[in-house]
Structure 1
């Protein structure tokens, strides 16, 4: 019996974004970008970036929303207590109420992605 040389064709798969090792930008890279785009040296740019990040964290800890034009809005939302299932044992557990940070992407950024 002869084997067929015709390869089976598969439907084209959807293009999904893949994460490469360099898909995350570190704080030092942000500092370098700020220094390149402004007249600040790296030390001054580092202080500016640190001040912005500290201000954002402080505002969120105070329960305020933080709007970042062109990027989106960070806000703190309250979660309610709920019942969950422990994955390994299927035991029902109560997940306590808490807070989480929500991010809503700006429509201008969303449209360009």
Structure 2
């Protein structure tokens, strides 16, 4: 048995300061799935923990229709300290990269 999922309603006036927080996300999931808010919060937390764990292991995470998260290495480089224009060395590190799914990109 499949549940129908209501499409998200576009915001009336979206601005750069509009942000969907975890609380609002939990409410949306609860409304769309019929789960309670506690169950929705547990499901979202478990999902985020699984994604975080995979990224920490160096694995990429693909979410069909949404995109792919992956870990990329950054090279050591010289930067400029704001305010003083002093040159500083920025060590090599890692960052999380996101590549948007084609379907999502077309729908925006």
| Fold similarity call, TM over 0.5 | yes
Of 103, 106, 111, the residue aligned with 2:106 is: 111
- Runs of 4+ aligned residues of structure 1 deviating over 4 Å after TM superposition are none
| 1:3-82 → structure 2 map (5 Å cutoff) | 18-20=15-17, 23-82=18-77
User: C-alpha deviations, 1:36-94, integer Å up to 9, x for none?
Assistant: 11132111111111100110111111111111111111110001101112232222211
User: C-alpha deviations, 1:4-44, integer Å up to 9, x for none?
Assistant: xxxxxxxxxxxxx7324xx1111111111111111321111
Aligned to 1:4: none
Larger radius of gyration: 1
1:67 alignment partner, SS class: strand
TM-score (norm 1): 0.77
**Structure 2, unaligned runs of 5 or more:** 1-13
Cα RMSD (Å): 1.4
How many residues of Structure 1 are paired with residues of Structure 2 in the alignment? 95
